[in-house]
Structure 1
């Protein structure tokens, strides 16, 4: 990670996200791609400095055993099929990553808003990146001829319950995907984020949807965790916290950590786990040792592997019945390259 200090939390909520125009996005591609230019563009973009909060029409006011699902939805290209899985799993709270807003590759849909409406949930959406292209090479080939309507990609939290607070927590500030030649054709403005939401169940519980950087290694993930925990320490006090998402902790698979060792000694390879343990977070009761990635038929050979990179971490709340849910629709077709993970929270009666 860069030595640039992380950005402060984004706490200005809006009902409608102000998205950058196509002309603005095209202009952003002009000129020299430097860290300084990235910082200026990031400052200009309202969508990177606000968080969208849309409450449920009729939120549930109490839940003693809410079911939480965390899922990297790989752009959320299959909204209706995803809703069917979450409905079947009786999800009450969804911590979602890789959610497109106005991207050609996902039908230029507001994937978070559409999914929330289908499930009758309120939602929070935060922008991770303004996408200046159409995605990876396969997405470029399939959708490069269709303009992106809004060009946003981010994280979301969906919930049946009242949303008391919502913030975007920036995890980096180096602009790598904009200025570094290794970013290739996936030019982007922004950086990795977490979304922290204080829900009233009716007692307050914080839920956090996290997406770590994919290009880094164990030391950098430990630094991302340090940044995340610093944000949460300032926000949450002694209130319960559940973190869930895609931590991209590929060091576990690369070093051959598997089976029960994934739960009992992940910190020997990925020091992020030691940081979380020291901060009072547990992972053993809210995860299984099952792997959480899924290959597509078109996955190229060098990436054709199964990993456990999606996790829950809990502090101050009891977790039960952890599960890994296959990312397939009713016909057995892939709807993401990540499986969903789920856990039930056991909250004290009030």
Structure 2
């Protein structure tokens, strides 16, 4: 993974996002997987050059304090139940990752649009990957014989406030999930990225929904963070910023950091925290040390330790009341393999 993505920040927006055809996806899944082929497929797909943006029907008047929820929704296979959790937490802004659009594993639904409609929010959605298959090995088995109608997977921001600007921030450009033979169980076009949204009231500020790579290590996450912070510096200037998402900081667990040590010295195991501190971002006031992953019934017997991998990072904002929110539905069923995290922000 390169120190900084060579793909530019995308600031173009549109009310629509058209997935590539099934024939295009079939052709993309054949032939030799090279960096050059991946770059050409990415350029010609029409999915990575704009952010889909819809404004809230009635933008809420911003209060002196706003509630922000960040959540990796693991494909968002439970739209109604997930929307109910966000409504119960009275979220003003939602930073969401792992949202499917036209994937069989999530019922071929447009999950970010449906969430926005249920919550009466505006939405900015960007493509992270074009999925060339049905998903991971478990999903392939569960949905054998089905087909994706769109094949898109991405991240987004939902908000009750008027959205002034939206941008897609690419974090790498190496085609890891397309080129690396070890990842062929889940072949994809695209790369990790973040979605940034600017609000202008009660004063201009930015929020950023982020998803870091899951199959790499602390050094690579440090480089992803360098790319993200470089984008934020150029895009946001001196404005207040709240970054939230799934940073896959499993190096903390491997280093044996637990409890308050997770907040006091995470840079010992994950270099990305040192980069954040240098850029003026704080994590102490906007996070708890509680784990943020959740085991499914089929993983609970694998001796999988729960991990702290979802975070908020704030600059120029007062943060309070951080909390971890259980990702369960009304009957106790798991809605995701990640808990949601919540924080209140003020100016």
Tell me, in whole angstroms, the C-alpha distance in 1 between the residues paired with 2:196 and 2:92.
16
Displacement of 1:200 = 2.4
Tell me, in whole angstroms, the C-alpha distance in 2 between the residues paired with 1:53 and 1:114.
14
Displacement of 1:176 = 1.0
Q: Is the 8 A contact 1:61 1:200 kept in 2?
A: no
Tell me, in whole angstroms, the C-alpha distance in 2 between the residues paired with 1:340 and 1:241.
19
Q: 1:291 and 2:291 equivalent? A: yes
- Residue 254 of structure 2 corresponds to 254
- Residue 52 of structure 1 corresponds to 52
Tell me, in whole angstroms, the C-alpha distance in 1 between the residues paired with 2:36 and 2:232.
28
Q: 1:126 and 2:138 equivalent? A: no
Q: 1:22 and 2:31 equivalent? A: no
Displacement of 1:202 = 2.9
- Residue 336 of structure 2 corresponds to 336
Displacement of 1:63 = 2.0
SS of residue in 1 equivalent to 2:10: coil
Aligned length: 347
Residue deviations 1:156-189, cap 9 Å, x none? 1000001011000000000010111010220000
- Residue 108 of structure 2 corresponds to 108
Say which is worse superposed, 27-36 or 196-205, in terms of deviation. Answer: 196-205
Say which is worse superposed, 135-144 or 187-196, in terms of deviation. Answer: 135-144
Displacement of 1:269 = 0.7
Q: Is the 8 A contact 1:63 1:201 kept in 2?
A: no
Tell me, in whole angstroms, the C-alpha distance in 2 between the residues paired with 1:34 and 1:300.
37
TM-score of the two chains, using structure 2 as the length reference: 0.98
TM-score of the two chains, using structure 1 as the length reference: 0.97
- Residue 216 of structure 1 corresponds to 216
Q: 1:154 and 2:150 equivalent? A: no
Tell me, in whole angstroms, the C-alpha distance in 2 between the residues paired with 1:279 and 1:10.
22
Tell me, in whole angstroms, the C-alpha distance in 2 between the residues paired with 1:4 and 1:27.
29
- Residue 311 of structure 2 corresponds to 311
SS of residue in 2 equivalent to 1:281: coil
Please list, as runs of the form range in 1=range in 2, the aligned pairs for 1:1-350 lying within 5 A after superposition.
Answer: 1-2=1-2, 5-299=5-299, 304-347=304-347
Aligned pair in 2 of structure 1 residues 119, 62: CA closer, same or farther (>3 Å)?
same
Tell me, in whole angstroms, the C-alpha distance in 2 between the residues paired with 1:300 and 1:79.
24
SS of residue in 2 equivalent to 1:145: coil
SS of residue in 1 equivalent to 2:185: coil
Q: Is the 8 A contact 2:3 2:227 kept in 1?
A: no
Aligned-pair Cα RMSD in Å:
1.2
SS of residue in 2 equivalent to 1:133: coil
Tell me, in whole angstroms, the C-alpha distance in 2 between the residues paired with 1:123 and 1:144.
32
Tell me, in whole angstroms, the C-alpha distance in 1 between the residues paired with 2:192 and 2:220.
13
Tell me, in whole angstroms, the C-alpha distance in 2 between the residues paired with 1:260 and 1:141.
41
Displacement of 1:144 = 2.6
Tell me, in whole angstroms, the C-alpha distance in 2 between the residues paired with 1:23 and 1:301.
40
Residue deviations 1:118-169, cap 9 Å, x none? 0000000000000000111110011131110100000010000010110000
Displacement of 1:12 = 1.1
Residue deviations 1:19-50, cap 9 Å, x none? 10111000101111111100000000111111
Gaps of 5+ in 2: none
